[in-house]
Amino acid sequence: MKITVIGTGYVGLVSGTCFAEMGNKVTCIDVDETKISKLKEGIIPIYEPGLEVMVAKNFERKTLNFSTKLSEHLDNCDIAFIAVGTPMGDDGSADLKYVLQVAKEIGQHMSTPLIVVDKSTVPVGTADKVRATINSELEKRGADIDFDVVSNPEFLKEGDAISDFMKPDRVVIGADREDTAETMRTLYSPFFRSGSARLIVMDVRSAEMTKYVANAMLATKISFMNEIANICELVGADVNDVRIGIGSDSRIGYSFIYPGAGYGGSCFPKDVKALHRTAKEYGFNAELIGSVEAVNDRQKLVIAKKVINRFGEDLSGKTFAIWGLSFKPDTDDMREAPAIYIIKELVSRGAKIKAYDPKAMHEAQECYLKGVENITYCNSKYEAIVDADAMILLTDWKEFRIPDFEELKTQLKEPVVFDGRNQYSDKMMKKHGFEYFQIGKQPLKG
């Protein structure tokens, strides 16, 4: 099929590349000229394992192309995917300005029948707005061209994006017309080896809702466990054991019940807020969803509180080594990363920070921690710990899992570790003589 993907970010680039991998002819469009010219030179703007090789292969065999000109890539196109950002608006709702701008451009330039697919995460009712916007542009130029609007939310995770897309748990398609649904089934059939039981077709509004419900459910699991972790700590229980104890019940399961320094990223925080806001617009106070968000906001500062309890309210003269800045491992993405909040809190109390992340240093320096004083960016995790008063682990990158503990102990002024992702254990830390603070368990005194 001939496919145009509009918005070449995490979702657009991964989706476009994976569709190309399956033999479709794909053009990825973006308004960001620098991004597009870099992609044409084989430079990938994001860090996502496996993506660079797949982009290069498909670009070379001409199944994948990049452009800034949407108007040149709608003729005889079968499907146009909208994959632009839907950031949080001032009132917490999803800001649809990029989506509707794309819809407007599609209406202005389409010349042949087209299926327009919303892949961006958008509130219920957005497909109707996209349809109305396209119709209005067609009317303005007196054009009568058949088109349909489909919702096909994306469930990929950053860091695992290629495998999530190539081997999806499910693909959700919201289509109100059977011929459109059939085209979408054909597009996705190569991604499912044995039939299409996991290719779920429903009405458009239910598909739009499904995306928010999936993210809200996952975020709820995390906030629930973080709440439990805080209680465990107070009553003298170990949340790590409790997690295993409950996860073994197949009705609960092990995934997404890891307590930590709070969830971040470009999706959970904004999508939970947007769902809460949608409910409010319909006059309903979604209390549980509101609490999920509030618990997470509080959780982001739990590690900072532990540092303050240990070192005092005034942290001037103290230096802390931070291991991990990205919101999760295997990505350079720092959107809503707990590290931003924790570092700002410590710096505001006079602390100095020595930070290291395998991939997110540039994002931190140039964007998310830009202008924050007293941060030194280090070239390695070991450089960061030299003369620091304590090490604080905030992202569970594999390279932090089994560090050289003796080196860590020697370089730190005092052997103190705060673990925001429960990567180590009391047993391990006791062996090496550390004072060890983790989430959901009373501290191990040195």
Ligand X SMILES: O=c1ccn([C@@H]2O[C@H](COP(=O)(O)OP(=O)(O)O[C@H]3O[C@H](CO)[C@@H](O)[C@H](O)[C@H]3O)[C@@H](O)[C@H]2O)c(=O)[nH]1
Ligand Y SMILES: NC(=O)c1ccc[n+]([C@@H]2O[C@H](COP(=O)([O-])OP(=O)(O)OC[C@H]3O[C@@H](n4cnc5c(N)ncnc54)[C@H](O)[C@@H]3O)[C@@H](O)[C@H]2O)c1
Binding residues: 30, 35, 86, 121, 155-158, 211, 256-260, 264, 270, 328, 335
CA distance 422 to 207: 35
List 232, 267, 367, 378, catalytic entry: 267
H-assigned helices in 189-301: 204-235, 239-247, 268-281, 287-299
Which of 112/248 has CB closer to ligand X?
248
Q: Write the secondary structure of 290-334 as one string of H (helix), E (strand) and C (coil).
A: HHHHHHHHHHCCHHHHHHHHHHCCCCCCCEEEEECCCCCCCCCCC
Q: Which of 156, 257, 394, 417 binds ligand Y (CB under 6 A)?
A: 156
Residue 321 near residue 354, CB atoms below 8 Å: yes
CA distance 446 to 432: 9
- Give the shortest CB-139-to-ligand Y separation in angstroms: 21
**Residue 257 contact, options ligand Y, ligand X, none, Cβ 5-8 Å cut-off depending on partner type:** ligand X
**Residue 83 contact, options ligand X, ligand Y, none, Cβ 5-8 Å cut-off depending on partner type:** ligand Y
CA distance 134 to 148: 10
Q: Which residue has the tokens 């991939």?
A: 359
Which of 311/356 has CB closer to ligand X?
356
Residue 105 near residue 71, CB atoms below 8 Å: yes
Helical axes 33-40 vs 51-60, angle rounded to 10°: 70
Which of 327/368 has CB closer to ligand X?
327
**Residue 276 contact, options ligand Y, ligand X, none, Cβ 5-8 Å cut-off depending on partner type:** none
Residue 275 near residue 284, CB atoms below 8 Å: no
Structure tokens at 14: 């991964």
- Choose among 76, 87, 139: nearest CA to 111: 76
Residue 332 near residue 259, CB atoms below 8 Å: no
- Give the shortest CB-126-to-ligand X separation in angstroms: 15
Q: Which positions from 275 through 334 interact with ligand X, judged by CB under 6 A?
A: 327-328
CA distance 243 to 221: 11
18 given a catalytic annotation? no
Q: Which of 4, 7, 188, 223 binds ligand Y (CB under 6 A)?
A: 7
Structure tokens at 38: 């870099």
Q: Which of 171, 173, 267, 360 binds ligand X (CB under 6 A)?
A: 267
Does 269 contact ligand Y by CB under 6 A?
A: no
- Choose among 203, 205, 211, 201: nearest CA to 125: 205
Segment interacting with ligand Y, rule: CB under 6 A, options 79-87, 218-226, 387-395, 409-417: 79-87
Compose the 117-136 pattern: x for residues touching ligand X by CB under 6 A, - for all others.
----x---------------
Segment interacting with ligand Y, rule: CB under 6 A, options 24-32, 222-230, 236-244, 429-437: 24-32
Q: Which positions from 191 through 220 interact with ligand X, judged by CB under 6 A?
A: 215, 218
CA distance 348 to 266: 25
**Residue 228 contact, options ligand Y, ligand X, none, Cβ 5-8 Å cut-off depending on partner type:** none
Contacts of 149 (CB under 8 A, 6+ apart): 116, 117, 118, 127, 130, 131, 134, 204
Does 363 contact ligand Y by CB under 6 A?
A: no
Q: Which of 228, 242, 257, 334 binds ligand X (CB under 6 A)?
A: 257
Does 66 contact ligand X by CB under 6 A?
A: no
Does 71 contact ligand Y by CB under 6 A?
A: no
Which of 243/328 has CB closer to ligand Y?
328
- Give the shortest CB-300-to-ligand X separation in angstroms: 10
Q: Which residues are annotated as a binding site for NAD(+)?
A: 30, 35, 86, 121, 158, 270, 335
Structure tokens at 109: 């330039």
CA distance 275 to 270: 9
Q: Which positions from 96 through 135 interact with ligand Y, judged by CB under 6 A?
A: 98, 101-102, 120-121
Which of 64/337 has CB closer to ligand X?
337
Helical axes 338-348 vs 302-311, angle rounded to 10°: 30
Residue 356 near residue 380, CB atoms below 8 Å: yes
- Give the shortest CB-155-to-ligand X separation in angstroms: 4
- Give the shortest CB-361-to-ligand X separation in angstroms: 18
Does 268 contact ligand X by CB under 6 A?
A: yes
Paired residues of 115 in beta bridges: 79, 148
Report, as residue numbers or ranges, the catalytic residues: 267
Binding footprint of ligand Y on the chain (CB under 6 A): 6-12, 29-32, 35, 83-86, 98, 101-102, 120-121, 154, 156, 158, 266-267
For ligand X, the binding residues (CB under 6 A) are 121, 154-158, 215, 218, 222, 256-258, 260, 263-265, 267-268, 271, 327-328
